[in-house]
Amino acid sequence: MNPSVPSQAAATGVAAQRLPLDGIRVIELSHMVMGPTCGMILGDLGAEVIKVEPPRGDGTRRLLGTGAGFFRTFNRNKKSIALDLDSQAGLDALHKLVDTADVFVENFKPGRMASLGLDYETLRKRNPKLIYVSHKGFLNGPYEHRLALDEVVQMMAGLAYMTGPVGRPLRAGSSVNDIMGGMFGAIGVLAALHERHATGTGKAVQSALFENCVLLSAQHMQQFAATGVAAAPMPERISAWAVYDVFTLAGGEQMFIAATGDGQWRALCAILDRPDLLADARLATNNDRVLARGWLLKTLGETLASLEGAALEPQFERDHIPFASITRPEDLFADPHLIASGGLAPLMLDDGSETAMPLLPISMDGERLQPRRPIAKIGEHTSDVLRGIGYGDAEIAALLASGDAPQKAA
């Protein structure tokens, strides 16, 4: 279900302005989430991103279940060319394309790029200005030849342990490491582009799932280093704040409510009409309330069970009490803040339909970075791109006829 949104052609603002990466050409040879996220970020920032797909297209296009949203989410603002890289003609075309590029993005298993002559050492000889960003499971070290998935590294790096109850490690409910790994790859590209202004040469950048996830667990590592006490998984932890939990309201509605300071505690007691709690000497400070958390949460829960979220929300907002209704992802299409703030934008898909798509969580001079082109069909831009690097019509026709590129794009 998608909300009513303006057509993509009507999008205005930053999409019509000069963007930070205008004039930068990115060749993206990647699939799934991590590499495509990097390419999407660079594309949203204005780079020309050319996604290289096999003749049948990126297999991510055909995923079902939890992968059904991957391709459309992470492949906007890209052109698509289709090349058979197992053929010499396809490889030759890609090499010529790389000669014109500023950035090369890949996320294939270790050794695959070298087997095709597309590793950094080979490509830098052709194009010394090239910034080559690899997205892998691990940075250099004993694990570097292992294959990794988001779930694998969440288990390895402590995140799954911290998320689930004791004895039941649980991965986060999104591809957090793949997405953040692509983001760190893009950050590396931006740094290398800046450095290139001074040096005139490119650089190899690498981003990795495992090290990304270790960063997510760093606060728990340092909690142990600072206190000598191992961090407990989230369901078992001793909270730093007494009121910091999910409560069940009237009608079974659930809401997270927090009171992290004394001012918020006083406001919460007033809203709930519980002056008795405010007057209780056992609850005088936050630390006192943490020690009383067992019975305190129970009595707060009893009061909240008769109240409705719609009545509480404006009072919590007024008194700056952190709160959140428990929301499902599909509910976000109707989120009033996302709609009013322009956080969702219409994106045309490769089948001609439209969906509302969350944008990058940044603004520039108050404007959000918009979709500028629809999700590309497989090989939609093959002819145009090849013509732009010197291929004649006859050469393009021969390449298309060979099956290296399945579509004659406009």
H helices of 200-230, where?
209-227
DSSP 207: E
Cβ of 194: how many Cβ atoms within 10 Å?
9
User: Which amino acid does the sequence have at 298?
Assistant: K
The active-site residue, picked from 22, 178, 273, 351, is 178
Asked if 161 contacts 224 with a C-beta cutoff of 8 angstroms, the reply is no
* Residue 160: closest CA among 227, 210, 114: 210
* Residue 353: closest CA among 149, 30, 72: 72
Q: Which pairing describes strands 103-106 and 25-29: parallel, antiparallel, or unpaired?
A: parallel
- Render 126-156 in DSSP notation, one character per residue: H-TT-EEEEEESS-SSTTTTS---HHHHHHH
Asked if 202 contacts 196 with a C-beta cutoff of 8 angstroms, the reply is yes
Is 350 an annotated catalytic residue?
A: no
User: Strand ranges (DSSP E) for 254-307?
Assistant: 254-259
- Render 56-95 in DSSP notation, one character per residue: T--GGGG--GGGTTHHHHH--S-EEEE--TTSHHHHHHHH
Asked if 297 contacts 274 with a C-beta cutoff of 8 angstroms, the reply is no
Catalogue the active-site residues.
178
